Amino acid sequence: MSYTVAIVGRPNVGKSTLFNRLLEQRKAIVDDVSGVTRDRQYGLADWNGKVFNLIDTGGFVPNTEDIFESEIRKQVKIALEEADGIIFMVDVATGITDLDDAMADILRRTKKPVYVVVNKVDNGTRELEATEFYSLGFTNNYFISSISGSGTGELLDAVTAPI
């Protein structure tokens, strides 16, 4: 049985940083089909012997605020079609944006497990600020720093629990 987890979230929240970190650390294999334009990236991750597919969405979206709800919908569609679990990444440095709200509205309707991952929680001050995201109304909330790796172990324990 193969298990798939997708990372969704608006541009610049740190999806690719987490994706690369999880693959690097677990010595996973990145499926890199060169020359093919893709809106997602696939990799294989291994956490304590639990192996799962990881999808990074929004690969070719420019890192600007100038993106639209259509892009958000595309990402979520990929996740809902292909993934068993969904990492919904948000960014404590910017707080909750309209695009975060738009994505949360769609993700609230799925029965698949959704893990709200507040990224860039690099210090104690940001940990306090991160509690703002509880208001999105999801049960599973994780505060992480994709750069330092803090909090990622707890997240991976939760994400791999169904495997």
CA-CA distances (angstroms) from residue 50 to 16, 44, 62?
21, 10, 33
- Binding residue for Mg ion, selected from 12, 16, 53, 57, defined by CB under 5 A: 16
Positions 42 through 71 that interact with ligand GDP (CB under 6 A): 63
Give the residue with the Cβ less far from ligand GDP, 61 or 136.
Answer: 61
* Pairing label, strands 50-57, 40-47: antiparallel
Give the residue with the Cβ less far from ligand GDP, 13 or 55.
Answer: 13
Positions 113 through 142 that interact with ligand GDP (CB under 6 A): 119-120, 122
95 annotated among ligand-binding-site residues: no
Tell which residue, 143, 57, 44, has the closest CA to residue 92.
143
Give the residue with the Cβ less far from ligand GDP, 50 or 126.
Answer: 126
- Beta-carbon contacts of residue 80 (< 8 Å; ≥ 6 apart): 86, 110, 112
153 annotated among ligand-binding-site residues: no
- Binding residue for ligand GDP, selected from 105, 147, 153, 157, defined by CB under 6 A: 147
Give, in degrees to the nearest 5, the angle at Cα 109 between 4 and 60: 50
Is 152 a binding residue for ligand GDP by CB under 6 A? The answer is no
Element (H, E) at 160: helix 152-160
Distance CA 75, CA 135 (A): 22
Is 13 a binding residue for ligand GDP by CB under 6 A? The answer is yes
Contact residues toward ligand GDP (CB under 6 A) are 9, 11-17, 63, 119-120, 122, 145-147
